[in-house]
Amino acid sequence: MNLLEIQHRMLDAVMQPLTNDEQMQPRTRDGRSMHDVAAEFIKPNDRLSSFERLEIYNRQYWFRVLAALEEDFRGLRAIIGPRRFAALSKAYLIDCPSESFTLRNLGCRLEWWLRSHPEHIQPRAALALDMVRLEWAEIEAFDGAAEPLLISGEMLVSDADPRFRLQPYIQLLSLRYPVDDLLLAIRKDDSDGEMASNAISERRKQMRASKVVRQKPQAVFLVVHRLDYSVYFKRIEAEAFLFIRALREGKTLSAAAVLAFQGRDIPESKLLGIVQSWFANWSSLGWFCRPESPNQEFISSLERQS
Amino acid sequence: MPANPFNGFTDFGVGIGLRVPHYQHILSEKPVVDWFEIISENYMIDGGRPLHVLDQILERYRVVQHGVSMYFGSHEPANREHLKRLKALVKRTKTPWLTDHLCWGSVDGTYSHDLLPMPYTFEAARLTAQKIREVRDFLEIPIAVENVSSYAEFHVSEMTEWEFLTEVVELADCGILLDVNNIYVSSRNHNFNPLDYVNGVPAERVAQVHIAGHSKFEKYILDTHDHPVIDPVWKLYARAIERAGHTATLLEWDDKIPSFEEVHNEALKANQFIAEMEVAS
């Protein structure tokens, strides 16, 4: 047996799901005896059979990936409950094993996968999907790239209708449920629960379940952003969301404003004030970065100010 | 042989692994530590707090990169995206040498996120050495490979683990990160004398030594990095530095991580063995 054959055979066995009592499956996916398969390439020793030695790796694999997914999607786990979350995780990881060198990316296909496997999140599929989107956005916002800030006073003097670039780490989410509040509440419960007795923990679980059941649909427009290296959730108005999303898509200032205020009867003077207040707020949070290739006028404007 | 081509001709002492629970202490108290080892993959990202903390650490401390997913022994070619990100980090940290494991962990782009054991065959040694050379050529930095703890052996193996390690590093002309805890763990799991291992590796290629703790189960030992170093492992360490000289030494503690002082004090016990070795020589 050559290196490639051993690696195929071992990885197949290692990634095969565990039994319900967390043991290695007695049969391979194609129905062969796992004892026979293990014995073909792994030596037994005086304490462990080939099967048992292979099982150590099988268990390590599943414990590791399941723990990583649980760590990243605690909100989803709270919504559907630990047992269903375990089943969902197992099914997801069978269909979508890691294709990245880092466990950070383990959940990158979870939203996509859940859309074609809604049975795992029914009857609260919309709520669960919103939560998954939020939890993935948080991961992206945590370690996404940050570019030099567009500092106050910088502007494209030659461009009457400029385009603005958002920081790459910023995530924009249009949600059907207020899952931002729910996630923060779940985290608070978890953190309080670490210091609580079993009885109190049980009561907390029940309170959390009722909190989830009580969730009512509510349109939320959310920016997941970073300030001083911590991730925050900031709700914005619908118009502001349309506007900032248009800027992210590369639309000009005026095109973004048209999209944001389409069908709204707002006087131009007031509209200008609204946009200015958005810019003031978002700039103070460091959401804009410098243009990719500053033109001469841009450089000149900086020089004039310095 | 403390400074050699495989650790960039450096002369590092005793360090510890940089871990998140210690960030605040290190940044605020600025303890004297000879060097830190970082897990490369934790910082192969585009931005955010991990890189911000790393930059502050780099201002004050010497840092060496240690990887967990290069998988030199995987049959497939190295992942280009991984290599590009790793090279960017190498430029950032200016690590004098870089380490990863003598193991495999991926097939056809699917990752196990585990350090899976190699079959000790000449074919595997040749393929692994070729990949180490390719990675070193791309990164333009000395590389040392670490022996892993293992729980399985293969029928097809044609040599002992230390013979395999020697074959790989000679073919690749690279260094060794000798993990004496891993040697101990594997020796108990596979019934060999750990001193044979330590005595069997080419000492002139040892770029760095790892020490750590582990967990004992009824029928095997697991490399968990969640305990202090036990005496038999210190004895292997003493023999390793007797052969290789005062080599850069690193304590790994990855689970149930105690206070910074406790981890650092455990690491500094190595100095006692270094002093005894220097007196004896």
CATH assignment of the domain containing A165: 3.90.930
Three-state DSSP state, B208: strand
Rounded mean pLDDT, B219-241: 95
Domain assignment present for A89: no
**Does residue A108 belong to any structural domain of this protein?**
no
Contact B69 A1 (CB under 8 A): no
Q: Which of A101, A139, A231 to mutate to test the interface with B (most CBs of B within 10 A)?
A: A101
Would you state the pLDDT for residue B252? 97
Number of helices (H), then strands (E), belonging to chain A: the values are: 13, 5
Domain ranges (residues) in chain B? 5-280
Residues of chain A with Cβ-Cβ distance to B123 below 8 Å are 2-3
Q: State the smallest CA–CA distance between residue B124 and chain A in angstroms.
A: 6
CB B251 within 8 A of CB B229: yes
Q: Please report the number of interchain residue pairs, chain A to chain B, with beta-carbon separation below 8 angstroms.
A: 122
Alpha carbons B128 and A13: distance in angstroms, whole number: 23
Give the nearest partner residue to A169 out of B47, B114, B123, using CB atoms. B47
Supply the ipTM of this predicted assembly.
0.96
Smallest Cβ–Cβ distance between A3 and the set B49, B124, B155 belongs to B124
Kindly give the pairing relationship between strand B104-107 and strand B110-116.
antiparallel
pLDDT bracket for residue A216 (50, 70, 90):
very high
Residues of B whose CB is below 8 A from A46: 191
The residue range of the domain holding A167 is: 144-178+215-306
Domain B5-280 has CATH 3.20.20.150: yes
B128–chain A nearest CA distance, Å: 10
DSSP B60-125: HS-EEEE-SS--TTSSSPPPHHHHHHHHHHHHHHT-SSEEEES-EEEETTEEEEEEEPPP--HHHH
Phi, psi of B177 (to 5 degrees): -100, 100
Q: B48 and A143: CB-CB below 8 Å?
A: yes
pLDDT in tens, B9-60: 999 999 999 999 999 999 999 999 999 999 999 999 999 999 999 999 999 9
The answer as to whether A233 is a domain residue is yes
Q: Are B209 and B244 in contact (CB under 8 A)?
A: yes
Within a domain: A222 = yes
- pLDDT interval class at A265 (50, 70, 90): confident
A153 part of a folded domain: yes
* pLDDT band at residue A191 under the 50/70/90 scheme: confident
Question: Does residue A30 lie within any of the structural domains?
Answer: no
> Cα–Cα distance between A54 and A16 in angstroms, integer?
11
Chain position carrying tokens 């001469």: A296
- For residue A237, being part of any structural domain is answered with yes
Is A97 part of a structural domain of the chain?
no
Closest chain B residue to A9, measured at CA: B107
CB-CB neighbors (< 8 A) of B69 in chain A: 101-102
Summarize pLDDT for A134-179 with one digit per residue, the tens: 999 999 999 999 999 997 666 555 677 889 999 999 999 999 999 9
Q: What is the pLDDT of residue B142?
A: 98
